[in-house]
Amino acid sequence: MNDLLIRGRVLTFVREPQGMEDSESYRFYEDGAVLVGGGKITAVGPYGDLAAAAGERVQLIDHRPHLVLSGLIDTHLHFPQTQAIASYGAQLLEWLNTYVFVEEQKFREGKHAAFIAGRFMDELLSNGTTTAVAYCSVHPESVDAFFTAAEERNMLMIGGKVMMDRNAPEALRDTPQTGYDETKRLIGKWHGRGRAHYAISPRFAITSTPEQMEIARALVAEHPACYVQTHLSENRDEIAFATSLYPEARDYTDIYARYDLLGRKTLLGHCIYLSDREISVLAEAGAVGVFCPTSNLFLGSGLFDRDRFDRLGGRYAVATDVGAGTSFSMLETMDEAYKILHLQGQRLSPLNSFYRMTLGNAQALGLEHRIGSLHVGADADIVVLDSRAKSAMELRMQVASSLAEELFVLQTMGDDRCVAEVYVAGKPMKRATGRVVAAR
């Protein structure tokens, strides 16, 4: 395959922006390019320099005037809930029992799991998301379907079989032993195969007995390269129930701490009602709180307090949390994140939003050497964004005068219609909107 020279307005982050004016936190090339070969980025910079240095057989794709960024990253969602988005009228525990635990039973069927897994990956790509961290269902078939669909598209994906052995319908329960055996077999089959990474996934303290938590502890100790994902402190009724099931724990966070589940590869969905003590425990362990804005509003869960995480040194990431989350779009997610923080008197600058969707989430996953920014040697996962994709955006953009303003328009008004193209390991996946100029 020829090398690709992707031309456009190239934006990539090198660290977290400190406010609206922090031009040291990113690189921006108004007429820039990314050179791609063998699925990797081989050069980034001004188009003129790269075009002069590029070989004869490079294929030029001109995306001007669109923005070219590193592919977006979603750090928490549920692939078996793809058809449970927009389930009406309930808060977390009722919503799980009424809708989600019914929907997830369908994933016992490999055929259904494969169908949804394919559509799920395509939906992510349509929204410019090239990497995601997902829960599968309790069924091993769902994990096979998930990683098979990712492999077919060569996507770097993280996922795992949910473990749950109580407080769920019989058809969705495993046991400590089957949870252990199946997880172990799936790790052996998938972790490190191509671009796949495994996440050990006890759903949350409510649906795992102490015996299963012991098993989770053993799995994590035996597979330190795997991620761990679970839920923490999303809803007041959930917190009361979880802590009643583990009366010896000081608080909800302590339940996971007691089973050695908190580490730098641990992702904890929601983290809304944590005390300072709990955030400090997470910070000490390097565990990551995951802010899920559309979900937190949709289920009426509450408001993530980012500034307290920052003050106490807690790591955090951002995510859609489909199907409690109402959109696969990370742009729409950051729009809601802005509003949630705004309600609490906290600011989220557009630079920071775009950093969070890319490099920030890659750092939360410890994958910043591979994804999240456009640098030489990185995997060529790239998104192309059109800030004028909707007529109202085009009108708004007529009076925009800075890059930060353009990013804010994209985040506030944008959705999948703004994703002009997405490349996975150098391969265009969406549609050929970029003008293929010529093979040079």
Amino acid, res. 114: A
Spatial distance between the Cα atoms of 364 and 360, rounded to a whole number of angstroms: 6
Q: Does 359 bind ligand GUN (CB under 6 A)?
A: no
Tokens of 258: 């007691």
Name the β-bridge partners of 60: 5, 438
Question: From the list Zn ion, ligand GUN, none, which binds 204 (C-beta under 5 to 8 Å, kind-based)?
Answer: ligand GUN
Q: Does 321 bind ligand GUN (CB under 6 A)?
A: yes
Tokens of 87: 């389930």
Q: Does 203 bind ligand GUN (CB under 6 A)?
A: yes
- Cβ atoms of 322 and 330 within 8 Å: the answer is no
CB of 96 to ligand GUN, least distance (A): 6
Q: Does 139 bind ligand GUN (CB under 6 A)?
A: no
Q: Which is nearer to ligand GUN, 12 or 235 (CB)?
A: 235
Q: Which is nearer to ligand GUN, 149 or 163 (CB)?
A: 163
Spatial distance between the Cα atoms of 304 and 306, rounded to a whole number of angstroms: 6
Question: From the list ligand GUN, Zn ion, none, which binds 234 (C-beta under 5 to 8 Å, kind-based)?
Answer: ligand GUN
Contact set for ligand GUN, span 227-256 (CB under 6 A) = 231, 234
CB of 153 to ligand GUN, least distance (A): 24
Question: Residue 346 has what DSSP assignment?
Answer: -
Please name which of 306, 225, 210, 300 lies closest in space to residue 259, comparing C-alpha atoms. Answer: 210
Cα torsion 370, 375, 377, 382: sign: positive
CB of 379 to ligand GUN, least distance (A): 29
Q: Does 153 bind ligand GUN (CB under 6 A)?
A: no
The site string for ligand GUN over 63-82 (x = CB under 6 A, - otherwise) reads ---------------x----
Which residue blocks in 96-190 are alpha helix, DSSP H? 101-103, 110-126, 140-153, 176-190
Spatial distance between the Cα atoms of 349 and 367, rounded to a whole number of angstroms: 24
Q: Which is nearer to ligand GUN, 80 or 140 (CB)?
A: 80
Q: Which one of 41-49, 92-100, 191-199, 379-387 is the stretch in contact with ligand GUN (CB under 6 A)? A: 92-100
Q: Which is nearer to ligand GUN, 90 or 312 (CB)?
A: 90
Q: Which of 295, 363, 373, 387 binds ligand GUN (CB under 6 A)?
A: 295
Q: Which is nearer to Zn ion, 95 or 246 (CB)?
A: 95
323: preceding bond cis by omega (within 30 degrees) = yes
CB of 47 to ligand GUN, least distance (A): 43
- Cβ atoms of 130 and 383 within 8 Å: the answer is yes
Q: Does 165 bind ligand GUN (CB under 6 A)?
A: no
Spatial distance between the Cα atoms of 303 and 318, rounded to a whole number of angstroms: 13
Please name which of 40, 37, 50, 38 lies closest in space to residue 8, comparing C-alpha atoms. Answer: 50
Q: Does 100 bind ligand GUN (CB under 6 A)?
A: yes
Would you tell me which residues interact with Zn ion (CB under 5 A)?
A: 269, 321
Binding positions for ligand GUN, rule: CB under 6 A: 78, 92, 96, 100, 203-204, 231, 234, 295, 321, 324
